[in-house]
Structure 1
Amino acid sequence: MDYTNSPNTYKLSENYGETKIVLTSRDPHCLFAYWEISGLEIRHFIEELGIELWQKSSPALKVKNLSRNSSFIIVINDYATNWYIQVDDINCIYEVEYGRKISDKIFIPMVSSNYVQTPSNMVSSSTSCYFMDYRNFSKSGYENESKLIYEMLDLESYYKNIGISSMEFAFNSKFEQCFGISSLELFGKE
C-alpha cells in the first residue's frame, strides 16, 4: 500500500489480536487500565465453559490490592477497552484481572495485568539538600568531585546498571539542572 500520496488516510488498527491488560497509576486514588481480549481467547472460553455461560456472564475487572490482601469487582460492558478505577488505599501495590463475572461469588479471570504502586498523597518528609561549590573544580578534580556527588546521593548503585561514568555524570546535561551547573560554568566560561 502506498501512503506517500495520502499520509492522512492511514488509520491505526483498533485491535491487534492479543489478549493483554495494562495497568498504570494515575494518582494516589486512581488507576487506569486498558486491555484487548482476542477472539481466540473468547472462543477458548466458550469451548471450555459453553456459550450459555458466556451469554449469562458479564465482563468485569477484579481489582486486587496486594498490599492489603483485598479485592473488589467492577462490572463493565462488552464494548469497554479501558477504565479509570477509583481506589481508597494509597501507597499500595495493585493488580487487575479482566474476566467474566458469573455470579456474586464467581469470577473467572481471563488475563492479569502488571503490578503498579499508587503513590503517597503527602509531600515527602525528606528535607535533604546537597550543595557543592562548582567554582573550585579543577580539571583534575572533576572525577573526584563527581565521585563525591555519587556518594552523597547514593547514585552510584543506580547508575552502575546503565554504565554511566563519573565524567559522564559531571558533564551530562540531564544532571546539570539538578545541581544548577552548566558545562560552561564548569569550564570557567560563565
Structure 2
Amino acid sequence: MGLVLTLILLSIAAGILYWYFARKRRPAEKKPLLAQPATQELPARYGKDQIVALVKDPYWLYVYWELTPEKKAEFERRYGPGSWEISQPVLRVYDLTGTTFDFLHAPYFEIAITDAADNWYIHVGRPRSTFCIDLGRHHPQHGFIILVRSNIVTTPADQPSEVIDPLWAPLEACWQGAGVSRGPAPGISSPVLVQPRK
C-alpha cells in the first residue's frame, strides 16, 4: 500500500514538473496591443477670415490670423486687378483705453508685415490697457483698407492690486480684528490675547 501511494505521488510530481518545464520552453503569448486612437493633426487652415488677439503679459500681445483666397479675390474685385500685389499688409493696433471704443478717434500705431506672416507678437508696453487690432492693407490710391478686426483685449496690471476685497482681508487686519498681537513679545512663547477697550 505504501509503495502504491509513493508511486502515485511520484507520478503527480513528475506531471507537475513536466507541465512547468513545458510551459517555460513555450514562447510567451503576446498580449494584444490596446487599440491606439487615430491621431489627427490640426489643420493648417480653417477656411475662415479672422484675426484673434491674445494677451501674453502686461507688455505684449500675440495675434494670429487667416485670410481665405475668397477674401483676396473680393479685394481684387473691389479695388481692381493687381491691387493685392501693389498694396502693403499692415497690422493697425488701436489703444482703446479709457475710450468708448471710438475707432475713429482712438490713438493707434501700425506694424508693416509680410504676406507670408500669419501671426505676430506685438509690444504694446502698456499694462492695464485695452487694445484691438485690424489686419488690413495700405493701398496707394485707397489708403488703409480693413480686412478683418480682432477681439478686444486688456493687458493685466504689472503689480499687485491696490483693491482689497473685504471678504479676503490681509492677515494683519484679521489679527487686529481678533484682538491678537502680531507676534510674541520678547520672552513670551505664544500670542497674547488683548482685551478690546470699551
Query: Is TM more than 0.5 here?
Result: yes
| Residue of structure 2 equivalent to 1:29 | 59
Q: Is the 8 A contact 2:75 2:83 kept in 1?
A: no
Q: Does 1:7 align with 2:7?
A: no
Question: How far off its partner does 1:38 sit?
Answer: 1.0
Q: Does 1:101 align with 2:138?
A: yes
Q: Does 1:119 align with 2:150?
A: no
Question: How far off its partner does 1:17 sit?
Answer: 1.1
* Runs of 5+ consecutive residues of structure 1 not aligned to the other structure: 132-190
CA RMSD of aligned residues (A): 2.2
TM-score after normalising by structure 2: 0.58
Identity %: 32
> Aligned letter for 1:119?
P
| Residue of structure 2 equivalent to 1:188 | none
> Aligned letter for 2:121?
Y
Q: Aligned pairs, how many?
A: 126
Q: Report which of the two has the higher share of helix.
A: 1
Secondary structure of 1:7 counterpart: coil
Cα deviation 1:56-101 (Å, max 9, x = unaligned)? 1111111001126210111111111111000032211100011112
Cα deviation 1:91-120 (Å, max 9, x = unaligned)? 1110001111225x9211101011000111
Q: Is the 8 A contact 1:75 1:101 kept in 2?
A: no
* Runs of 5+ consecutive residues of structure 2 not aligned to the other structure: 1-34, 99-105, 171-198
TM-score after normalising by structure 1: 0.60
Q: Is the 8 A contact 2:92 2:111 kept in 1?
A: yes
Secondary structure of 1:51 counterpart: coil
| Residue of structure 1 equivalent to 2:28 | none
> Aligned letter for 2:50?
K
Which structure has the bigger radius of gyration? Answer: 2
